[in-house]
Structure 1
Amino acid sequence: MNTPAEILLVEDDPALLAGMLLNLQTEGYLITAAPRGKLALTQCETRKFDLIILDLMLPDIDGIDIIRTLRGRGDSTPILILSARGDVDVKVQGLQAGADDYMTKPFELLELLARVTAILRRRFGNTRVVTFGDVEVFPEERKILRAGKVVHLTPREFDLLNWFIQNPRQISSREFLLSEIWQAGTDATERTVDNFVMTLRKKLDNPRKPRHFITVRGFGYRFQQ
């Protein structure tokens, strides 16, 4: 099973927390919410995250102190600060404490998602390339080129693509793909799988005469290079 990136979201504003949680989950990330700093530190002791999104102005512990504590433990998890404190001194302090990026509230959702993607890309690195047709896929970097141009996929679209390229020629039912790619309890249906495959065809194949994302009538789908 392809495991989506796991993000710890540390934010004490209930409305902002709920909105970010929904949007990040929609993009396919696994989110753990922590409205308090002490809870965030406890979560980091017991679990390994791919990214921490951290508010600085928490009711119990200052966000800068959380960063220093994590780095003092040897925890190198990337940290993206989100804070209403936009003065340069605070930004410098946060970055010097060990944060990887800093965004000032209010922020645009698309910019947040782009920064999350960029941080995760740097974290996973680039060690191999999978090619089919005129497409190049860098799985660890979560980067895709088609005819030399960058193709943007959502995290869920990439997870589906990654499963296909790891299991070439295997025939998979829609039900099976749902269990592999989508979390239990989501509203995804077999029709959702069809829509995502169609999107991959549009972005990476020929949607009218697909060569790589093949429908196997009565069974499901098969990927061939």
Structure 2
Amino acid sequence: MNPRLLIIEDDSEFADYLKRGLTYEGYQVQVANSAETGMSLLKASQPDLIILDVMLPGIDGMAACRVIRQTGYSGPILMLTARNAIDDRVTGLDAGADDYLGKPFGFDELLARLRALLRRQGTIGNIITFADLELDTSLYCAYRHGREITFSQTEFELLRLFLSHPQQLLTREIILEHIWPGTQENRGDVLDVYVLRLRRKLGNPSLIHTVYGMGYILKEDKT
């Protein structure tokens, strides 16, 4: 299961930006625009990680962090703030935050912080699963129907890309840029060959489906 994130951020435009980007990266994302709403969502479902803005209306992020920890939540909390003073960072960490990211920040830096926190928590491991398929990213092989499947480097990277974006349409352009960055020209037929190889190796029922004229999508075949 992909990691579940709860974003508590009162800037709706910024929160939407984070949600869209993180959803594209394979995370399951919920958004709350206040600490009170966030804590209500937390009672209903425990996320794997909380992204918490410091400057919130009503209960601010520092106080919210303390209350969240008092409820028994033990997952990582990443605090976001436009204030970069060391004292503010210390206060946030003392309140129960695991890491601190000052605005503005690059999206790649955010992703790196999330991976580090989730890895420390044990949420991210070496196995990526979808349906009855397991991909071992440390051994470069997969398991399905009780059999081991090995891949070339390119086949492995292509399958990992699909598994990182389950049930999402990946256009041919996105795939080509990810697998063969900067050299998309004349690679379209090569991509089709690699997808065919993956389908053959993974067997039936098919998991990689063609969206004609657009690209491919990883989903279970319900037919």
User: Letter of the aligned partner of 1:45 in structure 2?
Assistant: K
Q: In 2, Cα distance between the equivalents of 1:160 and 1:32?
A: 26
Query: Match for 2:99 among 83, 98, 101?
Result: 101
**Residue 145 of structure 2 corresponds to residue 161 of structure 1:** no
Q: Corresponding residue for 1:42? A: 40
TM-score computed with the length of structure 1 as normaliser: 0.64
Runs (5+) with no aligned partner, structure 2: 150-161, 180-189, 209-223
Change (3 A) 1:45 1:221: closer
Pick closer, same or farther for the CA change 1:126–1:118 going to 2, 3 Å. Answer: closer
Contact 2:4 2:49 in 1 (8 A): yes
- 1:182 aligns with one of 152, 155, 166: 166
TM-score by length of 2: 0.64
**Match of 1:86, as an amino acid?**
N
Note the 1:33-182 alignment, pairs <5 A. 33-124=31-122, 138-139=126-127, 161=135, 165-167=142-144, 169=147, 182=166
For residues 159-211 of structure 1, what are the alpha-carbon distances to aligned partners after superposition, in whole Å with 9 as ceiling and x for unaligned? 9735973425499xxxxxx89x624xx4x16x77xx59x95xxxxxxx9998x
Percent of pairs with identical residues: 34
Q: Secondary structure at the match of 2:90?
A: helix
**Equivalent-residue separation in structure 1 for 2:56 and 2:124 (angstroms):** 35
Query: How much has 1:214 moved relative to structure 2?
Result: 4.0
Letter in 2 for 1:25: T
Q: 1:39, 1:50 → 2: CA distance?
A: 17
- What do residues 124-179 of structure 1 show as CA deviations (whole Å, max 9, x unaligned)? 1688xxxxxxxxxx33xx7xxxxxxxxxxxx99xx9735973425499xxxxxx89
Q: Is the 8 A contact 2:48 2:123 kept in 1?
A: no
Deviations 1:70-120 (A, max 9, x none): 111211121000111111111000001110000000111110011111111
Aligned partner of 1:5 in structure 2 is: 3
Q: Are the equivalent residues in 2 in contact too, given 1:214–1:221 (CA < 8 A)?
A: no
Partner of 1:29: 27
- With over 3 angstroms needed to count, the CA separation of the structure-2 counterparts of 1:63 and 1:221, relative to structure 1, is closer
Residue 59 of structure 1 aligns to a residue whose secondary structure is coil
Cα distance, 1:56–1:221 mapped onto 2, change above 3 Å: closer
Segments of 5+ residues of structure 1 without an aligned counterpart are 128-137, 143-154, 172-177, 200-206
Aligned alpha-carbon RMSD (Å): 4.0
Question: In 2 relative to 1, CA 221–106 (structure 1 residues): closer, same or farther, beyond 3 Å?
Answer: closer
Cα distance in 2 for partners of 1:33, 1:21 equals 7
